[in-house]
């Protein structure tokens, strides 16, 4: 079985798309071995518990350094022995140490056609720029922000009258399609490495 770990901070709809993919066999021979959130109130974490998945709330408590916080996350991940770590709306920057601990084994989904619009509020930025299209990207995580090698992208049109909300919803629908496909590709790639 291929082992997936999920890191999330909020709603968790991309996590659900991956969990559904595992359950339906769209992501075959895989299991979710850890769902980790820096936000104990994340709806995605509650969904993980409801689904009987190993769910870990690891908040960065006041006074806790980033290194100590990430060390806690790292211990949970190391114990879960994931083949692939999937960021699914995880709102913290992954340190170079964590990236290097799992080289080429961390993937992220981002709601723009990278390399255009890394960072936050990217749907609004695409509308404000007058772009005619947007989309989503699944990529390997490197030490930069939303900058690693691209695995898959999906385009969507930006329509007249679109708001940040309507465009985000149109992109999100495609995120849920593309993320399981990209995870399959990344798992195949990871397992083909010497
Ligand atoms: C998605 O738009 C994803 O692309 C971005 O954060 C959002 C997370 O949504 N990285 P959800 O928590 O998966 O519903």
Q: Three-state SS string across the chain, please?
A: CEEEEEEECCCCHHHHHHHHHHHHCCCCCEEEEEEEECCCCCHHHHHHHHCCCCEEECCCCCCCCHHHHHHHHHHHHHHHCCCEEEECCCCCCCCHHHHHHCCCCEEEEECCCCCCCCCCCHHHHHHHCCCCEEEEEEEECCCCCCCCCEEEEEEEECCCCCCHHHHHHHHHHHHHHHHHHHHHHHHHHHHCCC
Per the annotation, the verdict on 110 as an active-site residue is yes
> What pLDDT shows up at residue 10?
98
Residue located nearest, by CA, to atom 6 of ligand 1:
89
> Does 115 sit behind a cis peptide bond, omega within 30 degrees of 0 on the bond before it?
yes
> What pLDDT shows up at residue 144?
93
pLDDT band at 12 (very low <50, low <70, confident <90, very high): very high
Q: Is the CB of 16 under 6 A from ligand 1?
A: no
Work out which ligand 1 atom sits closest to the CA atom of 15. 13
Site to probe by mutation for ligand 1, drawn from 8, 35, 89, 125 as the one with most ligand atoms within 8 Å of Cβ, is: 89
Phi/psi at 73 (nearest 5 deg)? -60, -45
Q: Kindly report, residue by residue over 50-93, the tens digit of the pLDDT.
A: 999 999 999 999 999 999 999 999 999 999 999 999 999 999 99
Average confidence (pLDDT) over 121-136? 97
pTM listed for this prediction: 0.97
Average confidence (pLDDT) over 138-155? 96
Q: Is the CB of 111 under 6 A from ligand 1?
A: yes
What is the whole-number distance in angstroms between the Cα of residue 194 and the centre of ligand 1? 32
> What pLDDT shows up at residue 123?
97
Q: Is the CB of 135 under 6 A from ligand 1?
A: no
The proportion of the chain whose per-residue pLDDT surpasses 90, expressed as a percent, equals: 99
Work out which ligand 1 atom sits closest to the CA atom of 10. 12
């Amino acid at each position: 079985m291929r082992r997936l770990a999920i890191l999330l901070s909020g709603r968790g709809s991309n996590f659900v798309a991956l969990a559904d993919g595992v359950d339906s066999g769209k992501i075959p021979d895989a299991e979710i071995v850890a769902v980790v959130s820096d936000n104990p109130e994340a709806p995605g974490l509650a969904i993980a518990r409801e689904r009987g998945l190993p769910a870990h709330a690891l908040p960065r408590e006041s006074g806790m350094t980033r290194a100590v916080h990430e060390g806690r996350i790292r211990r949970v991940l190391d114990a879960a022995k994931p083949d692939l770590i999937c960021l699914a709306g995880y709102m913290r920057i992954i340190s170079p140490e964590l990236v290097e601990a799992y080289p080429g084994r961390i993937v992220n989904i981002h709601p723009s056609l990278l390399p255009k619009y890394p960072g936050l509020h990217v749907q609004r930025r695409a509308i404000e720029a007058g772009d005619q299209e947007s989309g989503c990207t699944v990529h390997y995580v490197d030490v930069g922000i939303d900058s690693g090698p691209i695995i898959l992208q999906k385009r969507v049109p930006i329509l007249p009258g679109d708001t940040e909300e309507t465009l985000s919803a149109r992109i999100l629908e495609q995120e849920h399609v593309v993320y399981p496909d990209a995870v399959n590709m990344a798992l195949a790639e990871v397992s083909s490495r010497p």
